[in-house]
Amino acid sequence: MSFKHLRNVQPSIGGAGKAGNILPNVNWMPYILISPALVLIIGFLFYPMANVFYYSLQEYNPAKPYYNHFVGLDNFSSIFRSDELFYSSMLVSLKWVSIEVILQLIFGLLIALLLNQTFRFRGLFRAIAILPWAVSGVITSTMWSLLFNEHIGLINDLLLKTGIIHQKVAWVASMETVFSSVVVTELWRGIPFFTITMLAALQTIPKDLYEAATVDGAGRWKSFRHVTLPYLKNQIILSTLLRSVWEFNNVDMIFTMTGGGPANKTTTLTMYVANQAIIAQNFGYGSALTVIGFLVLLIFALSYLKISGFGKEA
């Protein structure tokens, strides 16, 4: 019997005579259509990730190929046992992510609440509010480096004229001000993300709920607390999670403005990876640091979603 005839055999189940194909027809067209996307995902996501895990177990320096060899978990052992800069960079990363995400959420939500109101030229102000999000990190860092410049910077000039300071400050070169300067720069670029996401979520809240709250005697604060925040809960959780991951991996702006200095005051874990892998060409050690960062983010994301109750009804 040929294969074609086998597909049409209809065995009886329990003598009832119910038909069913032994080899059912499979429509391969959906799989063919998504195959290019799968190839791209494998090539640009999974293959690089596998490479990082592979090189984390190697002593690998392309400038010194004669020293390259398998070292197992030695890179991880060196990181946890004797690398003090790793622990300090983790603390800087924690500080950086916490400050940035909290402040960006607060200011972004406030701006979104304002832009959600009806007023003249609202479209223009919305465009201005999200404009920094369209600027690349390198351009942003270059622009703010000029603003913070000790000699020609606009910030020093304004503060001197208003009497807030009495001598010029080297904002990105001083250990006392460099971290705050970088935080302000990233705030300018990051606030529009929360403004966009919160504004989109605010527009999905039914107006009837606010009218009912007003009838019940609720003021603006109670309406915000009992109507707005519950509706924004999932959006806030998802936005803060995404922004935490992005800020943890943020390297372009810090690299351009400070290079991690002075005295490693702005050396986050990803900045440390960049220094090890790109500048020092120590790809094995840098890959091990990257694997640790990946595991930290994975544990954080799963724990955050679990604790916050993402997706559950308020």
Same domain, yes or no: 18 and 129? no
39: containing domain: 3-55
71 occurs within a structural domain? no
3-state secondary structure of 258: coil
The whole-number average pLDDT for the span 45-65 is 89
What is residue 217's predicted lDDT score, i.e. its pLDDT? 81
40 and 174 share a domain? Answer: no
Domain assignment of residue 153, yes or no: no
**99 and 245 housed in the same domain:** yes
pLDDT band at 314 (very low <50, low <70, confident <90, very high): low
Count up the domains in the chain and report the number. Answer: 2
Same domain, 255 and 130: yes
- What pLDDT is stored for residue 218 in this prediction? 80
> What is residue 288's predicted lDDT score, i.e. its pLDDT?
94
pLDDT in tens, 12-40: 444 444 445 555 677 888 888 999 999 99
Query: Would the pLDDT of 295 be above 90?
Result: yes
For the domain that residue 93 is a member of, what is the CATH number?
1.10.3720.10
Which of 55, 71, 99 finishes a domain?
Answer: 55
Looking at residue 20, its pLDDT comes to: 52
pLDDT of residue 134: 85
In a domain, 146, yes or no: no
- In terms of domains, do 86 and 46 share one? no
Q: Do 13 and 89 belong to one domain?
A: no
Q: What is the pTM of this model?
A: 0.83
Residue 134 counted as domain residue: yes
pLDDT tens for 234-274 read 999 999 999 999 999 988 889 889 988 888 999 999 999 99
pLDDT in tens, 216-242: 888 888 888 888 898 899 999 999 999
Q: In this structure, are residues 248 and 271 in contact, taking their beta carbons and an 8 Å threshold?
A: no
**In a domain? residue 150:** no
188 and 272, same structural domain? yes
- The answer to whether 192 and 130 are in contact (CB under 8 A) is yes
pLDDT at 4 over 80: no
10 inside domain: yes
Render pLDDT for 127-159 as a digit per residue (tens, 0 to 9).
898 888 888 888 888 899 999 998 888 999 999
Q: Is residue 65 part of a domain?
A: no
Lowest mean pLDDT among 19-33, 45-59, 168-182: 19-33
Question: Do 27 and 124 fall within a single domain?
Answer: no
Residues 104 and 219 in one domain: yes
Q: What is the DSSP string of 280-303?
A: S--HHHHHHHHHHHHHHHHHHHHH
Residues 232 and 130 in one domain: yes
Q: Which residues of 203-235 are buried (b: 16+ CB within 10 A; e: fewer)?
A: eeeeeeebeebeeeebeeeebbeebbeebbbbb
- Same structural domain for residues 16 and 132? no
* Same-domain check for residues 207 and 287: yes
